[in-house]
Amino acid sequence: MATLEERKLMNDASRAQGGLICLGAGVIGALFLLGLLQESYWALALPVALLVFFVLGLAFWVGWTIATIQVEPEISAPPSDTSSPASASNDPA
């Protein structure tokens, strides 16, 4: 179990990482808006290309996972013959 000091340190690190993510998103958003205002072709082409490559990578990953999965066949137990009349007649009791 983590001590109180360790938890506080983890919370501080998480808050710092969250702040950096927000700052990065703000900077990228400002650059995108600046590119749109300057009517730059790249302002639209780069985000669209990134999105397309992300979706293609995701589709490839799903296909690769399906193609390379190792499936073990189920082993079913053989049926038992406890209800047959022959086994009942051999009962010594």
Question: Residue 34: CB partners within 8 Å, gap ≥ 6?
Answer: 43
Global pTM value = 0.55
pLDDT tens for 26-81 read 999 999 999 999 999 999 999 999 999 999 999 999 999 999 998 888 888 776 76
- Distance CA(43)–CA(32), nearest Å, equals 6
Question: Residue 47: CB partners within 8 Å, gap ≥ 6?
Answer: 32
DSSP symbols for 36-75: HHTT-HHHHHHHHHHHHHHHHHHHHHHHHHHHH---PPP-
Structure-model confidence comparison of residues 78 and 14, the more confident one: 14
- Distance CA(54)–CA(48), nearest Å, equals 10
Over 80: is that where the pLDDT of 84 sits?
A: no
